[in-house]
Structure 1
Amino acid sequence: MNKCGLWGFAVLLFIFQTFTGLAQAEQGWPRTVQGANGPLTLNKAPQRIVSTSVTLTGSLLAIDAPVIASGATAPNSRLADDQGFFRQWGEVAKQRHLKRLYIGEPNAEAVAAEAPDLILVSATGNDSAIKLASQLSAIAPTLVVNYDDKSWQDVVTLLGEATGHETQAAQRVKAFDDREAALKKAITLPPQPVSAMVWNGDGRAVNVWTAESAQGKLLQQLGFTLAEPPATIQQGHSMGQRKDIIQLSGENVGSGLTGKTFLLFAGDDKTAQSVLSNPFLAQNVAVKQKQVFPLGVESFRLDYYSASNLLARLEKLFVKS
């Protein structure tokens, strides 16, 4: 190699090492992550994470992040175990000795007592502690995560970045995406479009998942087409605060569910029977054709665990043996 060649090689090597060093620095600490309330700089990898959102807790467990305590929902319910943790990851929580902070209403004192070095808050939903965000920020760095416009993969990727568990997050996402791609090739779709919903009790109130919801994104990735309620009866996305659901109630339930197939999230066989026997839905195509499918009670909020269960349920329903 002549001198010009050696000089050119040296320059290239210098550039490569420089950019490699920058990349390594960007992946180290301190690092800045983008939350729903703006950027948050973290000086070191957190070791004592407290989640005020039971929805986000599952994603932390999935990537082996050091979450030590979490808010909870009502225990021994259709969705939750005796601790008030979602059933799809309740056993994992017990194995990790996850502590229940409180049930329902957020409690800043309970959070502070755990001496966290990172606090997670959901921006929307019934498990949101957004009103306490400023107070919690005085205790420890507080990351606000908006999960109503993201897939669960987006959420877990963000949490991996915030906790230093990027590798675990990427592994979970890849394994799931590979499984999802295989299912897409094998699935026989039911009549389209589909109304994907949470059927509440006797059907007086229904939450329809939008294309921006984690549930809607997953279905679309599998090739499903989402049916939207007519614009004239849409009551906004949860009074304009949420992007993942459209709320239907009263007389709008029947006319708002326009899909040829109903997919019942957070639903079981009893839920399906409630839909099929509802007199206000008797003329809906999906009901008349008995295209009503429950997708399991754990599909209410999607994380790695519930999304994996959902794939298994869809495979059982729509892949011909």
Structure 2
Amino acid sequence: MEPDLIIGSTVGADATVDSYDQLSEIAPTIMLDYGAHTWEDLAVTLGEATGAEDGVQVALDDFEAYVDEAAASLTLPGQTATALAYNGADGGGVFSAESSQAAILIGLGFDYVVGPEDLADQVRSDVSFFTAENLPAALANPEVVFVIAGGDEQADSLVNDPLLANTPAVANGQVYATGPTSFRIDYYSGKQMIDAIVAGLGGE
């Protein structure tokens, strides 16, 4: 394919960091940790690498305005919130405070909270994974839980999980789906996540 630039990931199922030396022999190669950095940070890095800084800034400004407009339309059901990838009997992953999901929730006016890492089964730069037994402790503080990469059916499954019945968000009916594209956030999926949240919270 004779690429001019190769972009790889250092985290997740698509990680290619072990192949860096091999890829670098083909073309200049950049490895990105898209778990520990927001999509905005990654966009700036890629804009600099490709000479597209002006286009990146336009996208960033547009997205910031989109977040601000959405925030103005919302009445928050609670102040503290977390983003969770719910896996039923296998527990779930709470996204880090540095994640793009957290950045969106903070931009919408929430105070973002994470679970206790000492109870996590696995800690990555973007997500801390908790077993089903420890997930109630991970969700003991947020008043609102947003289910990442899930629709209403997955949110309903979380609400009906007997282990989570006494967590604040479940007990008060403040669990919301963020749609199937919200696991990895970019300019487009970020807007889709915001739209799902606004729809779920009854915003305009």
Q: What letter is aligned with 1:169?
A: V
Alignment of 1:191 with 2:78, yes or no, is yes
Which residue matches 1:255? 137
Mapping 1:205-224, distance limit 5 Å: 205-224=91-110
Mapping 1:73-222, distance limit 5 Å: 114-200=1-87, 202-222=88-108
Which residue matches 2:190? 307
Once the two structures are superposed, what CA deviation does each residue of 1:15-72 show, in whole Å capped at 9, x if it has no partner? xxxxxxxxxxxxxxxxxxxxxxxxxxxxxxxxxxxxxxxxxxxxxxxxxxxxxxxxxx
Q: How far has the Cα of 1:230 moved from its partner?
A: 3.0
- Residue of 128, 132, 138 corresponding to 1:246: 128
Matches of 2:117 and 2:188 in 1, distance apart? 34
Helix, strand or coil for the counterpart of 1:207? strand
Off by >3 Å, runs of 4+ in structure 1: none
Q: How far has the Cα of 1:142 moved from its partner?
A: 0.5
Q: Would the aligned equivalents of 1:151 and 1:218 in 2 still touch at CA under 8 Å?
A: no
Matches of 2:60 and 2:203 in 1, distance apart? 26
Q: How far has the Cα of 1:232 moved from its partner?
A: 4.0
Q: How far has the Cα of 1:312 moved from its partner?
A: 1.4
Higher Cα radius of gyration: 1
Q: What letter is aligned with 2:112?
A: L
Q: Would the aligned equivalents of 1:204 and 1:253 in 2 still touch at CA under 8 Å?
A: no
Q: How far has the Cα of 1:279 moved from its partner?
A: 1.3
- Residue of 161, 175, 179 corresponding to 1:292: 175
Matches of 2:3 and 2:72 in 1, distance apart? 44
Q: Would the aligned equivalents of 1:194 and 1:225 in 2 still touch at CA under 8 Å?
A: yes
Q: How many residue pairs are counted as aligned between the two chains?
A: 203
Helix, strand or coil for the counterpart of 1:243? coil
Matches of 2:116 and 2:93 in 1, distance apart? 14
Q: How far has the Cα of 1:188 moved from its partner?
A: 1.2
Q: How far has the Cα of 1:182 moved from its partner?
A: 1.8
Q: What letter is aligned with 1:246?
A: S
Matches of 2:148 and 2:181 in 1, distance apart? 8
Give unmatched runs, 5+ long, in structure 2. none
User: What fraction of aligned residue pairs are identical, expressed as a percent?
Assistant: 33
Helix, strand or coil for the counterpart of 2:119? coil
Q: How far has the Cα of 1:190 moved from its partner?
A: 1.8
Q: Would the aligned equivalents of 2:82 and 2:102 in 1 still touch at CA under 8 Å?
A: no
State the TM-score, normalizing by the size of structure 1: 0.60
Matches of 1:236 and 1:171 in 2, distance apart? 37
Matches of 2:21 and 2:126 in 1, distance apart? 25
Q: How far has the Cα of 1:266 moved from its partner?
A: 0.2
Q: How far has the Cα of 1:317 moved from its partner?
A: 2.4
Helix, strand or coil for the counterpart of 2:181? helix
Once the two structures are superposed, what CA deviation does each residue of 1:82-105 show, in whole Å capped at 9, x if it has no partner? xxxxxxxxxxxxxxxxxxxxxxxx
Q: Which moved more, 1:182-191 or 1:306-315?
A: 182-191
Mapping 1:246-285, distance limit 5 Å: 246-258=128-140, 259-285=142-168
Which residue matches 2:111? 225
- What is the root-mean-square deviation of aligned Cα atoms in Å? 1.6
State the TM-score, normalizing by the size of structure 2: 0.93
